[in-house]
Chains A and B, each alone.
Chain A
Amino acid sequence: MRRDVRELLALLAAGLALGLMHLALRPDLPWVPAPRAEETMCGGEAEPEAPAAAEAPAASFAPATPMSSPGPEDVQ
């Protein structure tokens, strides 16, 4: 068992060292990537959420617009 662990640790260390070396040799891969927009299979990048204030109707004290046709109780 001890031999198994030793060999596993050796492979992990070698993989980590080679991986870091590979990363260092790739100029297109920075060590810390810039935050990027999420990409899913559903269709490209997710749209940023619009601020809630933009979607909400503007507050107004104007009287509500009347309905286009009166209801039966209004006729009576």
Chain B
Amino acid sequence: MSQVQADMSDRATQWRRGGIWVLRLVVAGVLLAAAAPKLADPAAFAAKLPNYRLFPDVLVNVVATTAPMLELLAALALLSGRLYRGGVWLSVGLMATFTALIGSALARGIDLDCGCFGSAVQAEPVGALDLVRNIVLLGLTVVLALDLGRERAR
């Protein structure tokens, strides 16, 4: 490999790493923004969960405290690099779950407030925009997961 090719490859690797860092920051920021208000006021989040008509009453409060804790841990793993690989897969799982929940509510015509960011944002009925937002976020986490495979292959 010539020197020019080696330089270009190094530059591409640097760009890719920079892009991955930006993705990590974006996904971790969204997860932190979603977790903080729900951790501060889990009762408000718990009040919104039954509207999905999916969770049994016994699980509502457990989900209301556990889900934001998982979001917080995923964000910290993405930011700190500790348990990074697990954090990426946890982010993928969380985003896939949230996307499925919103899609399911839309498909059934339930006009609920998704509670995605707790009570930090004004309550609005969940809509197609929320679904698109979640699909985009899911795509970002999948890119991070694909990058894990690339790191392993190198």
Contacts and interface: CB of A to CB of B under 8 A. Distances in A.
Determine chain B's interface SS by DSSP, over half rule: helix
Nearest to A14: B73
Determine chain A's interface SS by DSSP, over half rule: helix
A12 B97 CA distance: 14
Given A23-B61, A42-B111, A12 B85 contact: no
A42 B110 CA distance: 10
A61 to B, nearest CB: 45
B13 interface: no
B65 A20 contact: yes
Interface residues of B, number: 39
Contact of A39 (B47, B60, B89): B47
Interface in A34-76: 35-36, 38-42
Interface in A3-26: 3-4, 6-12, 14-16, 18-20, 22-23, 26
Interface of A: 3-4, 6-12, 14-16, 18-20, 22-23, 26, 28-33, 35-36, 38-42
22 contacts: A7-B83, A8-B85, A8-B86, A8-B93, A11-B86, A12-B70, A15-B69, A16-B66, A19-B62, A20-B66, A23-B42, A23-B64, A29-B64, A32-B58, A33-B60, A36-B47, A38-B50, A38-B51, A39-B47, A40-B51, A41-B113, A41-B125
